[in-house]
Amino acid sequence: MFQPLRKSIVFSLLVMFSWFQGWVLGQQQPLPLKVVRTSRTSNGFDSPPRGWNSFGLQANPGINPSFAFDQNGVIEQADALLKVIPADLLAAHDYYISLDSGWSIGDHGDEHGRITYETSNFDIPALASYLHSKGLKLGVYILPGAFCKDSNKTIDGTYIPIEATLTGNNNGFSRCDFDFSKDGVQEWHDGVVGLFASWGVDLIKLDYVTPGSPSNGGNLPPDNSGEVIAYHKAIAASGRRMRLNISWKLERNETYFKIWSSNADSMRTDQDINNSNEDTFIEWATVQRAIENYRDFISRVVNATTEPVTTIYPDMDSLFVGNGEAITGVTDSMRQTIATHWIGAGANLITGSDMTKIDELGVRLLTDKNAMEVADSTAKYPMQPRNPGTGRNDSKQLQAWIAGPDDSGNAVVVLVNYGPDEGQGGFGTKIEGKQLVKATFSDLGISGKFGVKNVWTGEDMGTMDNEVSATLDAGESLLLKLART
């Protein structure tokens, strides 16, 4: 009488084993590749910004003690940048000279509470005019809120006092926060951006946006995303073509990602990558962290829909690759790996290096023709992780990435050995020395035959139809262009 029961149990166990075996195999099989595309941003841009930002030299004065953050010091860096950027690149792309914190008066604005420049250091309209005459554009840095000292001033074009638009919260940076339900808030933002437009400003970097930005000694509200919306509307009202870059380490859930991508052009995925008050710009540990934050960013984009499209560029912070190891703080192969990842991500290509001390490799990493062609491609098809062996998107020390394939079937592939996790890389492993990094076409989610080219060396590596591989030391990578044959 127990025979049917035994058969039932055996059958159930076989079904469970079969399901488990299928589940294991499913975990090992690469997921189908969902190609990520970047469409035109909310303010009308089809590529990320390039150029130079002042913050690295401001934060690390020992690197260039002669640098002064004023009109002459900025022009010196701009002129040095112009010496290395080929004319065709300058004509084809938006290159900015971006002023970071300190260009404006720190605790009050003009007669209407609008942000204005510190006249002892800058003449912003004259600087914009000079840069424009050279084919460059101007960016400025701002913080959320209105100056608390300006609360009794009247918003330009209205009879509304600034204090009538505020929440009463002092955010700790000489600014009081807006109540975005109040009349006059949008008019204040319109006045600020209108003033910037009259000066010739081309990019606004809005820092300390929440949710995301740590308070960093301030008293930030949990959600000031209304600032991003208000500045976006103000840019549209100004009639001037301007970018809006927002910062830092911003919340990437579905709710806020929609706000950022509907109003801004670039969003900071990490905190500052540079050292502070040291004689080198960066450390490899923070580079690992920046790449891990991009991995999380793009993986969320991939997972959000079956046909992932984004309308905002990742800002991985300044591209510190222009100076030698003694100044940058990492090896030359790591510098190349940094450039490879920023390019592959379709991220902002704004360097923070000292342009007056740029070396031969630095010039190549910022201007190489093959690499810049890849940057044009990844501005539309950013790279995503595809783990060697599984094709998944987890954080790994030995990693592969793919951008595309594009509409012509061509793709960009990156192989990399990040070296031992220095604490913020996300992958946790500490494998030392040179390692073989191999990704099959199945891992990458592609099939067919491709002509493979080493982007940085220009070497033609022949036709491949199965895998790509390289033996890479810690911090070393390989940037490949795959052309379908």
Structural domain spans, the chain:
32-382
Peptide bond just before 221 cis, omega within 30 deg: no
In the chain, pLDDT over 70 holds for what percent of residues?
A: 94
Residues 94, 272, 315, 354: which is the catalytic one?
272
Average pLDDT over residues 238-267: 97
Give the integer Cα–Cα distance in Å for 383 and 403.
4
Q: For 12-25, how does the pLDDT look when each residue is reduced to its tens digit (9 = 90+)?
A: 444 444 444 444 43
Which residues have a Cβ under 8 Å from the Cβ of 285 and sit 6 or more positions away? Answer: 422, 423, 424, 425
User: Which of 133, 102, 128 is closest to 203 using CA atoms?
Assistant: 128
Contact criterion met (CB below 8 Å) for 129 and 84: no
Contact criterion met (CB below 8 Å) for 480 and 345: no
For the chain, what is the mean pLDDT?
A: 94
Q: For 125-172, how does the pLDDT look when each residue is reduced to its tens digit (9 = 90+)?
A: 999 999 999 999 999 999 999 999 999 999 999 999 999 999 999 999
Q: For 357-378, how does the pLDDT look when each residue is reduced to its tens digit (9 = 90+)?
A: 999 999 999 999 999 999 999 9
Contact criterion met (CB below 8 Å) for 244 and 235: yes
Instruction: Dig out the tokens for 103 from the structure.
Output: 């260009």
* pTM of model > 0.75: yes
In the chain, pLDDT over 90 holds for what percent of residues?
A: 93
What does the pLDDT read at residue 28?
Answer: 62
Give the integer Cα–Cα distance in Å for 81 and 412.
28
Which residues have a Cβ under 8 Å from the Cβ of 198 and sit 6 or more positions away? Answer: 125
Q: Angle 265-269-274 (CA atoms, 0-180°, nearest 5)?
A: 110
Residue-wise over 208-222: b if at least 16 C-beta within 10 A, else e?
Answer: bbbbbbeeeeeebbe
Q: Is 207 known to be catalytic?
A: yes
Instruction: Dig out the tokens for 260 from the structure.
Output: 């950022």
**Coil, helix or strand for 471?**
strand
Per-residue pLDDT at 429 exceeds 90? yes
What does the pLDDT read at residue 2?
Answer: 41
Rg (CA), the chain: 25
pLDDT band of residue 438 (cuts 50, 70, 90) is very high
Helix (H) or strand (E) holding 367: helix 360-367
Q: Is 317 known to be catalytic?
A: no
Give the integer Cα–Cα distance in Å for 440 and 411.
14
Per-residue pLDDT at 204 exceeds 80? yes
Per-residue pLDDT at 173 exceeds 60? yes
> Which regions of 200-294 does DSSP assign to beta strands (E)?
203-206, 243-246, 266-268
Average pLDDT over residues 256-282: 97
Per-residue pLDDT at 188 exceeds 80? yes
What does the pLDDT read at residue 11?
Answer: 43
What does the pLDDT read at residue 21?
Answer: 41
Per-residue pLDDT at 7 exceeds 90? no
Give the integer Cα–Cα distance in Å for 52 and 349.
8
Helix (H) or strand (E) holding 48: none
Average pLDDT over residues 370-398: 98
What does the pLDDT read at residue 20?
Answer: 43
What does the pLDDT read at residue 216?
Answer: 84
Number of neighbours of residue 319 by Cβ within 10 angstroms: 26
Q: 32-382 — its CATH code?
A: 3.20.20.70
C-alpha atoms less than 13 angstroms from C-alpha of 213 in its C-beta half-sphere: 24
Residues 177, 207, 265, 443: which is the catalytic one?
207
What does the pLDDT read at residue 23?
Answer: 41
